[in-house]
Amino acid sequence: MALLWACNLPAQEATYGISVPLTVSGDVLYGHGAAARDGGESSISGGGRVVLSPTLRLGAHWFAYAAIEVYSSSYFPYDRPGGERPPVTAGPLQAFLGYATKIGGVSLLIKGGQLSSAFGMFPLEYDDAKTAFVNPPAVYIANLPLRADQLACGVADLVFQPYAGELQYNCGGSHRDSYGLVPVTLYGLPAIETDLSWRRLDARVQITNSSPANPQGLTSGSQMAQWTAGGGYTLPAGVHVGVSGFRGPYLNVNLTPLLPEGRTIRDFSASGVGVDAQWSRGHWSTEGEWQHFRFDLPGFVDSPSENAAYVQVKRILSPRTFIAARMNEQQFGRIQDSLGVSAHRYQAPRYVDEFSLGYRLNRQQLVKLGFDWTNLGAWTADNGYWPGSQGYGVQLQLVSSFTALSRPFRQ
């Protein structure tokens, strides 16, 4: 929605030009216990990331925007979509063409290309230079024990899986190694979107080529058009309250021969509904989200579901310094397969508490020091017991932001 600035430019002041903001990030991460990478007792890693965000202004209404990243595989403390990656990877986070205008009192923005998901609040503002924490909220990065390219035989296939490791189901599908799905991708998918803003109201509708839980490229055979929508209202007190939702098929087409007779991929959907809120006044700001997800699976009477929430508070101590705290919680629902086997939940509850201290070295550089405490609850499920586990992590991140190029073509 930040790109709606174009709607407020009088036609006579419209410019043709290009600007290229650049964000360079580097971090060092230490994790112990449940917060360690790759399931080890402890781990230390470091890496770098560069995000190039060119905007091409094409007059009063048209513009093009992209966010292109280059990153080392050790930069992120969580698993990116796509499994194992080379030491250095490059690709577009977003890349779209947009048209902005005003009709009466309504601001209208239409864009098409590689877009962030319109579900939730965080995917719309994910930027190392703007976020108070080193990591995104847990709900956006924690893998679920669910695969879209292998068929689970029943409850046992879901509950007897590691917390954050490679998954293996036993009733057919892909032979490649894979981690579980995340409910909503942070990294964009092909889509067309319309955004509206009128007084205190805002709304967005997005048509995507695949589910935000299992994004597909334009050459994939598993593409299936579906919708995501959201909207919000800003109260006079300055509180913005929003809602969003999505629904559509998410399984890969390679599972088609394994489905029950008479059923198709379109009969099994991933769906999500969320509520979010933001408020700021003076030196204080707070925001949070609550989300519910459901993933329909063949052979299940009660399919996997998740309830997740986080809330964060930020306090500006001085023009250069801030502190922030965030609490995350994930709860997983009851499941039952067609043979009558059930479990109260298919994964233990997960809690993550985070604290962040930020200091601006200058107008272009921000240092963030983060601490997190992870608590994986203990649980029992059909002939097995998983003890709870805990862990902590420390992250140090340096973010540098500047405009590499800014050049108007004509006024």
> What angle is formed at CA 101 by the lines to CA 96 and CA 106, rounded to 5 degrees?
120
pLDDT for 383 beyond 60:
no
For 102-148, the pLDDT digits (tens) are 999 999 999 999 999 999 988 766 788 889 999 899 999 888 889 99
pLDDT for 12 beyond 50:
no
Instruction: Name the more confident of 229 and 43.
Output: 229
Distance from C-alpha of 183 to C-alpha of 286, rounded to nearest angstrom:
23
Mean pLDDT of 281-306: 95
Ordered domains of the chain (ranges, CATH) = 2-410 (2.40.160.10)
Other CB atoms within a 10 A radius of the CB of residue 321 amount to: 12
Q: What is the largest CA-CA distance in the chain?
A: 73
Structure-block tokens of residue 300: 């299940």
Give the DSSP H/E element, type plus range, for residue 58. Answer: strand 55-58
Its pTM stands at: 0.89
pLDDT score of 79: 65
Q: CA torsion, points 381, 387, 390, 391, in degrees to nearest 10?
A: -100
